[in-house]
Copies of this chain bind each other. A is one copy, B any other.
Amino acid sequence: MEAIQQLLTQLPKGIVLMSKENTRPFECDGLSVYKQKPLAVVLPENIAQIKQVLKICKDNNTPVVTRGAGTGLAGGAMPLENSVVLGLSKLNQVKSIDVENRLAVVEPGVRNIAISEAVRQHGLYYAPDPSSQIACTIGGNVAENSGGVHCLKYGLTVHNVEAIKMLTIDGDELILSRQDDGLGLLALMNGSEGLLDIITEITVKLTSKPALARVVMAGFDSVRDCANVVADIIKAGIIPAGLEMMDSFAIEAAEGFAKVGYPLDAKALLLCELDGTQTQVQAELDSVLKVLSGASTLKVSESEEERLNFWKGRKSAFPAVGRLSPDYYCMDGTIPRRHLADMLEKINELSKKYQLRVANVFHAGDGNLHPLILYDLNIEGELEKVEEFGTEILKLSVDMGGTITGEHGVGVEKLNAMCHQFNAKELAIFHKIKAVFDPKSLLNPGKAVPELHRCAELGAMHVHHGKLPHTELERF
């Protein structure tokens, strides 16, 4: 391959990885059931090298799949067979911290948690906190517009990014900032899943660490009661810093793993974090406790240690569930809060239908579901069953006026679902906008936005917006 030859010749030794042993860690992202070896993995050390890679790939029509830490769960960073993977992990410097204006300028390979660590001494932190925040990078967060437990109150990545520097496939550098944002391009790049640009620098907003944070842990005898309380808290005018829900299977798994004192007899558990000044927290706590009067168990964290302990169970829920089964599939969909109870019931029915266990962990405050479907990849046909199960959940999400992804993105996983959420004209506009930045379609081609013929083959070309009738969902 001419492109690979040029990469090897023009870049310093050790930047281009070719051998199977070296490229294996890059063959998949967190959606590890799908794997693909790329032509090569390139790990540049600076912007000049990134530009070289882009030039070579463009000249040779070689697709480029940009990658952060590869923690994504929808296959967005999965290599393509004929592609070069452009890994940005070596660009991992916090370049500057502006305490007065609460901004930090960081390279794309900086891990999410490392930003908060770097500014902790100033009483600041970076608010969006994906579950993978120890490992995932800020560049990947921007590419996926990542969420997290605290995004209910503090916003998604897009709300916490002040500016980015990006390269187009042509190697042109653009600076997009919130305050200069001519046509709203900053929001366009957030969540564009590597299809439009290579992000080379991010200016993130920092948030003041609240004086106090307390977590209310409430167990319920009924899933429906617990789910209804979620909407009631928001209706009471309170936006908790986090509002998470777990079903009994998730409670059991998390407690077995983390031993944090979750009530094992509860059918559902709610964790509700309140933060602010002492007075603010007390005022919100009073209101929340009133709403939670029907809970079967109720505890409020009395110390920072106890608060972290309450979260420890939730944060370890995925691995905790994971150890109960050879494999698990983490779904991601969003529905209006008022349908949470109905959705849980339907997922339970589906669990029986497919004979697959499901643990439910929700960012309940914003209606973002994460059903974890347990299965065994070694049992023939089981993966297909899981995929079908997942499709039914997404179908239900759209049916309830929701959407096929909450925070994991589309990647390769949800290309078919995109055919149902958007119509041909909308998808055509997405493709045209891609062409503005990447006319030869070399940046992560085939991901995130399905080709129109794919949708046509699915027989599924029509609009599915929340407010429209969903009589066509059978085609899903």
Contact = CB atoms under 8 A, between A and B. Distances in A.
Q: Report, as a range, how many residues of chain A touch the other chain.
A: 35 or more
Contacts of A279: 279-280, 282-283
A422 interface: yes
Interface in A285-316: 287
Contacts of A277: 237, 283, 287
A184 B183 contact: no
Nearest to A105: B467
Contacts of A192: 183-184
A282 to B, nearest CB: 7
Contacts of A189: 184
B338 A100 contact: yes
Contacts of A283: 277, 279-280, 283
Contacts of A418: 182
B433 A183 contact: yes
A433 B176 CA distance: 15
Contacts of A172: 425
Contacts of A191: 183-184
A48 interface: no
Contacts of A101: 336, 338
Nearest to A367: B179
Interface in A428-442: 429-430, 432-433, 436-437
Interface string A330-363: 0000101010000000000000000000000000
A436 B211 CA distance: 48
Contacts of A458: none
Interface string A161-183: 00000000000101101011011
B174 A429 contact: yes
B436 A182 contact: no
Nearest to A162: B466
A421 interface: yes
A432 B436 contact: yes
Given A277-B237, A283-B283, A336-B101, A184 B190 contact: yes
Interface string A184-204: 110111111000000000000
